[in-house]
Structure 1
Amino acid sequence: MEYRKLGISELELSTITYGAFAIGGNMWGGNEKKDSIDSIHASIDHCVTTIDTAPFYGFGLSEEMIGEALKSHDRSKVQLLTKFGLVWDGSSNGKGDFFFDADDNGKKVPVYKYSSKENVIKEIEESLKRLKTDYIDLLQIHWPDSTTPISETMEAVDTLIQQGKIRTFGVSNYSIPQIQEAQKTVQIASNQVAYSMLNRKIETDLIPFTAAENIGIIAYSPMERGLLTGKYFIDSKLKENDHRNGYFGQFDLQKVKTLVEELSSLANTKHISISQLVLRWTTLQKGISIVLAGARNAEQAISNAKTMDFDLSVSELEFINQAISKLK
């Protein structure tokens, strides 16, 4: 495994970081608790030291399972990344930005982006309890909330830093102007944003800005929620309550299928999986600090961890980039 410093912070994170969205179950067609916890153990056992989660993932379930799994590991050797700002339990009382209706076992649950000072403090106390820890290594605002001044949110964050409840702070899904406003109050270590072979929008403006400001980029959805594994093209049946039924519709699936087939030929010659090839390519892109990789069982977790066991040559990168260019 390779470890990288996150922006201007003192955090050293595993380049492949365990992404815990899917194990929460909601929006992913459910989950298997034992498999999920086994995947966390397997990741740590294979040198993945960093875990990224959020209260919204499984409405607290993801954090709870991580807390349970970490009871048998040395907390000081694991970096916990979590978030705040997505409220689903009605505690915002209708305040904040309405985001969408999430599915909870067939029941619609309204989700709001809400980051008032009071709510930030409340959420962190709840996360600490679920994670069974007394500090968070990297706290992140999940999504911008247009109804709360950024300065108010950052004041709450600064208080948490002073209290020792968080080591450092990052944002997620923030624009350049939003980062600049947040920086007036709190030092920003990172911005967690969507980035993949199919979505490279941040390369134009955001990455040059964060590189100049020494702000790390945490890439989420590098596999486009499993689409780039190629499995969808073999068995396209997803559970009815799986959000990917709609999510995949944004892509030209025939072009993606062609890309997957071309990448598979290279993966086969290197005796690696296409998932490992895609993740490794992502880790090598300019400005990317760490890459989130989800796993729903130990086998997937081990495969993700082994991504850093091989390299890609200049000619192999050129082959991959040429294949990606055909998507346009």
Structure 2
Amino acid sequence: MEYRKLGETDLSVSAITFGAWAAGGWMWGGNDDQAAIEAMKAAYDLGITTIDTAPIYGQGKSEELVGQAIKGIPRDKVQILTKYGMRWDTTQGTFGFKSKDNDGHDLDVYKFAGKDSIIKECEDSLKRLGTDYIDLYQIHWPDASTPIAETMEAIIRLQEQGKVREAGVSNYNVQQMQEAEQTIKLASNQVPFSMVKRDIEQDVIPYCIENHKSILAYSPMERGLLTGKMKPGQQFGEGDHRAGLKFFKDENIRRTNAFLEKIKPLADEKNATLGQLVIRWTIEHPGITVALVGARNAEQATQNAKAIEVKLSTDEIDFINKQLNELQLVD
């Protein structure tokens, strides 16, 4: 495995990080708890020492499973990344969206990052994770109802108490990062980035490179689209959020698969899967520190970890980018 420093901090993380959203089951059509725990353990055994989770993933469930998976591992050998600012148990803040929990009950999600709320959230996360500190604490989504300075002051307090090591943001634009930086030193921004979703190349990536901030790329496989296993007419289970996304329109699946066919010979040449090639391309991209990749079972986690063994030359990356620049998705 390769390890990289987050921003200008002393915190090192694995270049491939375990993304534990699907582990919570929520918005992924459920999950198997034991398989999720085994996936995290298998990832750790192959050098993926960093796990990213959030309270909203399964309304605490993902964090609890992470806590079970890391039990027995020396705390300084694993890096726990979690988030705050998405509440399902209060109506404070900015209304986010309607959802359903894992039992099918209606759920209203609010973006709220008030000071007292964050302090409470942190305590709850520490309990679920079974630890006394969080390595990287990230605001999950911007909250228009709370001044950014107030939010970041709460994180400074948690740092002073030793409950949080480093501060990060998620889904922040450049202006929001700049505002946060007036109060606190940020390590990173966690944002969506994949071969078919590259809008952050315009602003967030240049800003982060210039200001020595890390980027944690989430959904680098575009929720399974870039594995090459999806086919037009793909059916998703009840509660699976992918059903309504443009990436999974039949025409876009067709176009993406045509692109993947062009780069498949390169994957074959390296005895790699398409997914492994995609992960390696992601962490080779300028400005990207980490690729967050989920796995539902130990076999998937093992496949993801082995992406680190794939080596790409400059010419090979140029070849992939050339094919990619010809890919146009429909809205």
Mark yes or no: TM-score above 0.5: yes
- CA distance 1:158–1:76, change in 2 (3 Å): same
The alignment partner of 1:307 has SS state of: helix
Match of 1:260 in 2: 260
RMSD: 1.3
- Cα distance in 1 for partners of 2:114, 2:167 equals 16
- Residue 13 of structure 1 aligns to which amino acid in structure 2? V
| TM-aligned CA deviation for residue 249 of structure 1 | 4.7
Work out the CA distance in 2 between the residues paired with 1:249 and 1:324. Answer: 15
The answer (yes or no) to whether the contact 1:192–1:220 under 8 Å persists in 2 is: yes
DSSP-derived class of the 1:244 partner:
helix
Structure-to-structure mapping, 1:22-33, within 5 angstroms: 22-33=22-33
More deviation, 38-47/204-213: 204-213
Amino acid at match of 1:166: V
Which stretch of structure 1 is more off in the superposition, 232-241 or 305-314? 232-241
Q: Which residue of 2 aligns with 1:195?
A: 193
Partner of 2:8: 8
After TM superposition, give the deviation of residue 284 of structure 1 in Å: 0.4
One-letter code aligned to 1:45: D
State the partner residue of 1:221. 219
- Give the match for residue 73 of structure 1: 73
Aligned to 1:232, the other structure's residue is in SS state coil
- State the partner residue of 2:99: 102
**Residue type of the alignment partner of 2:264:** S
Question: Using the alignment, how far apart are the partners of 1:186 and 1:314 within structure 2?
Answer: 37
**1:3: how far off?**
0.4
Structure 2: how far apart are the matches of 1:266 and 1:112?
Answer: 44
For the pair 1:120 / 2:81, whether they are aligned, the reply is no
Moved more, 95-104 or 148-157: 95-104
**One-letter amino acid of the structure 1 residue matched with residue 73 of structure 2:** H
* Contact 2:95–2:110 under 8 Å retained in 1: yes
For 2:174, which of 169, 173, 176 is the aligned residue? 176
The number of residue pairs the alignment matches comes to 325
Unaligned runs of 5+ in 2: none
SS across alignment from 1:143: coil
Amino acid at match of 2:312: L
Whether 1:152 and 2:135 are equivalent positions in the alignment is no
Inter-CA distance 281–14: structure 2 relative to 1 (3 Å threshold): same
User: Could you state the TM-score of these two structures normalised by the residue count of structure 1?
Assistant: 0.96
Structure 1 residue matching 2:186: 3-state secondary structure: coil
Over 4 Å off, 4+ runs: 248-251
> What is the identity percentage for the equivalent residue pairs of Structure 1 and Structure 2?
51
Pick closer, same or farther for the CA change 1:249–1:204 going to 2, 3 Å.
closer
Q: CA deviation at 1:72?
A: 2.4
Instruction: Tell me the residue number matched to 1:317.
Output: 317
- 1:235 Cα deviation from its structure 2 partner: 7.7
Indicate if the aligned counterparts of 2:230 and 2:253 stay in contact, CA closer than 8 A.
Answer: no
Alpha-carbon distance, 1:66 to partner: 0.7
Counterpart amino acid of 1:63? E
Report Cα offsets for 1:35-72 as digits up to 9, x if no partner: 00000100110011100000011111000011011112
SS of alignment partner, residue 17 of structure 2: strand
SS at match of 1:178: helix
Q: Find the aligned partners of 2:183 and 2:247 in 1 and give their Cα distance.
A: 39
SS of corresponding position for 1:238: coil
SS class of match (2:169): strand
Give the match's secondary structure for 2:230: helix
Secondary structure at 2:144 match in 1: coil
2:246 and 2:71 map into 1 onto residues whose CA distance is 37
Note closer, same or farther for the CA distance 1:114–1:250 as it changes in structure 2 (3 Å cut): farther
Following TM superposition, by how much is the alpha carbon of 1:262 offset from its aligned partner in structure 2, in angstroms? Answer: 1.8
Q: Which amino acid aligns with 1:58?
A: G
Q: Please report the TM-score for the alignment, with normalisation by the length of structure 2.
A: 0.95
Do the aligned partners of 1:227 and 1:248 also contact (CA within 8 Å) in 2? no
Match of 1:34?
A: 34
5+ unaligned residues in a row in structure 1: which ranges? none
Deviates further, 235-244 or 270-279: 235-244
Measure the CA separation in 1 of the matches of 2:119 and 2:298. Answer: 34
Deviations 1:52-111 (A, max 9, x none): 00001111100001101111212110000000000012x2xx221111112223322110
- Single out whichever of 227-236 and 142-151 deviates more from structure 2: 227-236
Indicate the larger mover: 227-236 or 268-277.
227-236
Post-superposition offset of 1:162: 0.4
3-state SS in 1 of match to 2:172: coil
